[in-house]
Homo-oligomer: A and B are copies of this chain.
Amino acid sequence: MPARIHNFSAGPATLPMEVLEQAARDIVNFNDKGIGLIEMSHRSKDFIAVADETESLLREILGVPAHFKVLFLQGGASLQFAMVPMNLLGPGKKGAYLNTGTWSKKAIKEARLFGDVQVAYSSEESNFNHVPSPNEYQVDEDAEYLYYVSNNTIFGTQFHAIPQVAPMLICDMSSDILSRSFDFSPFGLIFAGAQKNMGPAGCTVVFIREDLLDHTPAGVATMLKYKTHADADSMFNTPPCFAIHVIGLVLKWIKKNGGLAALEQKNREKAALLYQTIDNSSFYRGHARSDSRSNMNITFNLPTPELEAQFIKEATALGLDGLKGHRSVGGCRASIYNAFPKEGIVKLIDFMGDFEKKNR
């Protein structure tokens, strides 16, 4: 096996090597049962134990209150953009949204199909380079919820405090769940695609307050009602078994490495190294406003698109992969989720220094 590259991809993203190795063994022969994990009936005792353990680790590590259901769904965050308003809005009901990037914008578009929408704040005019502070917006009193995206993968911004407003919060935590601890009490529903901090693509975890399960209007398809999945412990139909198992392996790795407190500390340190490099240079320019900087996705530009292309090319040759920024921002993006090692960041910083010297 050649040297492992440093994978800065925004998602699917780097996972811990020990998780990959365990998943590989389990695919061929799960727990020495003479059957591969992906061949097992989802209704077998062995697989139900896998799903139960993944759920109980999520509850333990995140501190999920007992009155929240944990669901393992399919369709990605993009399907949640529609399922949230389908289940929680309806004719005459309103959802409030903070528009802080591509994903909130898509969620707003879907919400308009199923109810009224208040866009309480938008940072679109500054190309989503920041998230608002609580005194910068007001949520309509008749809104059912305030929806926001805790971390904006594409623009590299992140909420560092949970909005404090009257209606319940709905949050898309796809790109920073499990990177820090938080209090569930202001939330009604949280969802996150697995493919950044949790595991492989193909599973979306939804945390929903139980009392919301009965809010769904009539006429919603069975598979699109949260209640369907809550009542069947996410086994109304065949769930994404492999992804659920790998999420469980990642959670064990998190627990072994000190849980969210330790990860949060490491994530801050990792990001600070890169932001310092950017701040100490006039060659590299951060996209996100300092107060809104993400600890997961660091977005930056170089003086010209030509230099950016050259930078990415040389970095890739050094095994620093996936640094090309999203077309909405251009430039570069270093995604450094939980499993991304500090050594990779040090290597990137060294390269950034060398590249600046040569090309300044």
Question: Which residues of A approach B to under 8 Å, CB–CB?
Answer: 1-5, 7, 9-15, 17, 20-21, 23-25, 27-29, 32-36, 38-42, 44, 74-79, 81-82, 86, 106, 109-110, 113, 193, 195, 199-203, 219-224, 236-243, 246, 319, 321-322
Q: What separation, in Å, do the CA atoms of A330 and B130 have in the docked complex?
A: 59
- Contact in complex: A39, B25 (CB < 8 Å): no
Q: What separation, in Å, do the CA atoms of A2 and B38 have in the docked complex?
A: 18
Given A201-B241, A241-B200: A39 touches B14 (CB 8 Å cut-off): yes
- Contact in complex: B222, A4 (CB < 8 Å): no
Residues from chain B with Cβ under 8 Å of A221 in the complex: 79, 81-82, 86, 110, 113
Residues from chain B with Cβ under 8 Å of A13 in the complex: 39
Known contacts A12-B238, A20-B38; 20 further A-B pairs (Cβ under 8 A): A1-B28, A3-B34, A4-B34, A5-B33, A5-B35, A9-B44, A10-B41, A12-B40, A12-B41, A12-B42, A20-B27, A20-B28, A20-B39, A35-B321, A81-B222, A82-B224, A193-B238, A200-B241, A202-B240, A240-B243
Nearest chain-B residue to A203 (Cβ)? Answer: B202
A34 CB contact (under 8 Å) in B2, B241, B322: B2
